[in-house]
Structure 1
Amino acid sequence: MVVLSKPAIEQFCVVKPSKPTTLLHAIPLIDLSKPDSKNLLLKACEEFGFFKVINHGVPIDFISKLESHAIKFFSLPLSEKERAGPPDPFGYGNKCIGPNGDVGWVEYLLLTTNPEFNYQKLASICGENPQTFRCAVNDYVSAVKNMACEILEVMAEGLKIQQRNVFSKLLKDEQSDSVFRVNHYPPCPELQELNGRNLIGFGAHTDPQIISVLRSNNTSGLQISLRDGNWISVPPDQNSFFINVGDSLQVMTNGRFKSVRHRVLANSLKSRVSMIYFGGPPLSEKIAPLPSLMEGEDSLYKEFTWFEYKKSAYKSKLADNRLGLFEKVAAS
């Protein structure tokens, strides 16, 4: 686990507690087995850019097996975990988030979803043949990717796009630049000395990809930002998945769907483990509003490739408005 000396906590960002809100219950809940899921999905993507799904079809065994591997790995001494790092970009990292000075009370594993990835570097995860961990990741990612594709196809139907797989085909492409991340937020007892303030585990940001699929253990910490700027806490649910609209999907829908700003706060007593699949397009894919959704409207964004946007996002800080560089400025 991340072990930090007491003075080091001052290096991390602290925030004031969010004001209580009556909107806690308002986070959209989508039952994927119900026929009304299409309309509910559209509304959630337009109003929140975020929703919870149940009856998702991902085997519980896949979830528990991968989480067990993750807990086992993050429980190792730091020296052993560092053998799986530094992230280049894949591998183990802690505290530092990206190359531009962002830090958080977090340690993580970042992995490609390419099944041919060499897991030898990550042998310390299992303390045995890394093939065991590779199989657990591949099973989980395959199931979650299928769910994400189903959701994207329901979105396309709801938007009345003739090509039902217009979004999902980008995740299914052999060159899809999707990644998988496992985050661990250790308990931070020193929080009790911060006079009610909260310690940032992962700073506020949007996800640059098309769609993100998040699952965590039963520990709170995730918050999303509402359109009015208020932050609300997302009640944990270890049996469900949470879906984020990404920046690329916002562009492809010409702003109709909104990528959600979110963050994670550290917990004083409990460890939080989250697993996130980031569904991305091939690097050469051109990202622009879909013509079928324009209906005579002007495009809000310049066309760019996923490689260009990814490169730009990598150079930015977490809190930056990454899409700002690619927005079209209205003529005065």
Structure 2
Amino acid sequence: MISEIPCVDIRSGASSVSDPDIASALDQALATHGFCYIQGHDVDASRISQILEVNHTFHALSEEEKRELAVNRFHRGYIGKDESQTVTSSVKPATQPNQSESFMVMQPVSADHPRWGSAIFGPNQWPDTLIPEFRMTCLDYFNVMQTLAYGLTQRLGVALGLGPDAFTKWFTEPTLFLRLLRYPALSTSDHRDQFGSAPHTDHGFLTLVAQDATNGLEVQTSEGRWISVPPLDNAFVLNVADMLSVISGGRWASTPHRVVLNQRERYSVAFFFDPNFDAAIYPMLPADPPNREGLQVHYGEYLMERFDKNYLYRDA
């Protein structure tokens, strides 16, 4: 299936993050769609295969085994089907819980961290006895994706005409999420308003998604149409999230997207590269509409507000 979403090969030009052709391609894609494919990255295909494989392995565990790793108050662990509902959607609030299940990993935090025990600053959970290779596979993927995301952040600064170091101040201690997702196959009892993931925007800076061979991800165009973002070999799907949209002055929209269910189950791995928890985000380009000119968003507060509203475990 051919997608309307452009593909940007970040190895196609000069090795510098300031390559003007790549910057132009990123700007055109993100100004039009808020999404693009990224090829020419340095993440080995074997690493992508391995993280998708442990994703399968984890979700093949029994419900009881997965529940032993139920998400903790630091947003780390297993989130089951029907345990999240997108009520903060900019499209329209979801009327049904999301049908996906997922396992959340965040950046490791040591117990002597000044924020330890608050907000998102706590321990990850690991199925070490059940899947011995799970922890190392996740952390290895985590590290290579962080390196890729740092490089892309520099390229995005260039694409906005701000320079490669424009965003550095917001990423001295970035907020990082790795989410291993499973979407069930469509059943005859599913309703039209049930989604693997209901229409939403991402709350952070940028998202990089590795997909298996099953379709399901869709993006809403500026005209309101939903278009497919099918899997592309050895490519990540990159999308603009809310904080990057603010920084760009609205030039790059944080585009609504969703995952629809189909006849086959679907697996994906999303890596979220977000600012420092304490970052105060503001437009670095003239804001559109102009009344956003003085906008400032405290990322950590914005994040926790969305967690509180969209995840049922926050009420426990």
Bucket of the pairwise TM-score, normalised by the shorter protein: 0.7 to 0.9
Match in the other structure for 2:62: 77
Equivalenced residue count is 283
What TM-score comes out, normalization by structure 2 length?
A: 0.81
Q: From the CA coordinates, give the structure whose radius of gyration is larger.
A: 1
Question: Deviation per CA, 1:42-73, whole angstroms, max 9, x where unpaired?
Answer: 01111110000111110122212222211111
Unaligned runs of 5+ in 1: 1-22, 319-332
Per-residue deviation, 1:133: 2.0
Match in the other structure for 1:217: 212
Per-residue deviation, 1:316: 4.1
Change in CA separation of 1:315 and 1:93 when aligned onto 2, cut-off 3 Å? closer
Match in the other structure for 1:41: 26
Question: Deviation per CA, 1:221-255, whole angstroms, max 9, x where unpaired?
Answer: 00000001111111122521000101000111111
Per-residue deviation, 1:287: 0.6
Secondary structure class of the residue paired with 1:109: strand
Unaligned runs of 5+ in 2: 14-20, 88-94, 111-121, 312-316
Does 2:198 match 1:203?
yes
> Is the 8 Å Cα contact of residues 149 and 168 (structure 1) preserved in structure 2?
no
Distance in 2 separating the partners of 1:203 and 1:99: 6
Does 2:14 match 1:27?
no
Distance in 2 separating the partners of 1:316 and 1:182: 21
Match in the other structure for 1:275: 269
Equivalent of 1:312 in 273, 280, 305: 305
Secondary structure class of the residue paired with 1:280: strand
Moved over 3 A (4+): 98-102, 115-119, 168-171, 315-318
Question: Deviation per CA, 1:297-328, whole angstroms, max 9, x where unpaired?
Answer: 9561521211221133234459xxxxxxxxxx
> Is the 8 Å Cα contact of residues 170 and 281 (structure 1) preserved in structure 2?
yes
Per-residue deviation, 1:28: 0.8
Per-residue deviation, 1:181: 0.7
Secondary structure class of the residue paired with 2:243: helix
Question: Deviation per CA, 1:176-199, whole angstroms, max 9, x where unpaired?
Answer: 2221111101223426x87xx584
Secondary structure class of the residue paired with 1:122: coil
Does 2:39 match 1:54?
yes
Aligned residue runs from structure 1 range 96-245, under 5 A: 96-97=83-84, 103-114=97-108, 118-119=123-124, 121-123=125-127, 127-129=130-132, 132-162=133-163, 164-167=164-167, 170-171=170-171, 173=172, 175-190=173-188, 199-245=194-240
Change in CA separation of 1:299 and 1:254 when aligned onto 2, cut-off 3 Å? farther
Per-residue deviation, 1:78: 0.9
Match in the other structure for 1:259: 254
Distance in 2 separating the partners of 1:148 and 1:40: 17
Change in CA separation of 1:261 and 1:128 when aligned onto 2, cut-off 3 Å? closer
**Aligned residue identity for 2:250:** G
Higher fraction of helix? 1
Secondary structure class of the residue paired with 1:153: helix
CA RMSD of the aligned region, Å?
2.7
Percent of pairs identical after alignment?
Answer: 24
What TM-score comes out, normalization by structure 1 length?
A: 0.77
Distance in 1 separating the partners of 2:57 and 2:254: 33
